[in-house]
Amino acid sequence: MKACFVRIFLLGCLFTSVIACSSLDPSRLSSLTLDEAKSGSIVEMTAGDVFVIVLEGNPTTGYTWELDTLDATIVQQIGEAEFTPESDAIGSGGKFTFRFQAISAGQSFLKLLYHRPWEQGTPPLNTFELMVIVKIQNGG
């Protein structure tokens, strides 16, 4: 009985150690969510990592977030931007969500514009900028 208890105790310690050491290092996360507060930042990723940008907006005003600048050989947009309203009320604002994947080593400047696309020559109401540095994961 004592030997059984010791085995269970040791297995429990091993399990706890594995849990404590797994995926707590933020640099090893494969998915990252960024908001307006991160505009102007530099983000380091590993090829294959996915990141999401979530920005406030209201398309009923005619303004929309659009991708302006991106090196698609390094970072690719996954699908189209999605808008999720904050409520069911007509004309309510909400959040635009963009998804991207780091695909090869290098650096890419990413810029999103919040503007009315038909207003040529008018500066955007807001911008989101990010420098993405993509590295290849080492084999260890």
Helix, strand, or coil here: 11?
A: helix
Q: What is the number of structural domains in the chain?
A: 1
Residue 67: CATH number of its domain: 2.60.40.2020
Answer yes or no: is 110 within a domain.
Answer: yes
- For residue 131, give Cα distances in angstroms to 16, 58, 83, 112, 126: 37, 26, 24, 12, 17
Eight-state DSSP code of residue 43: E
Which residues span the domain enclosing 71? 32-135
Answer yes or no: is 18 within a domain.
Answer: no
Given a cut of 80, whether residue 25 has pLDDT beyond it is: no
Instruction: Give the per-residue pLDDT at 2.
Output: 46
Given a cut of 70, whether residue 110 has pLDDT beyond it is: yes
Mind listing the pLDDT tens digit for each residue in 42-72? 999 999 999 999 999 999 999 999 999 999 9
Answer yes or no: is 71 within a domain.
Answer: yes
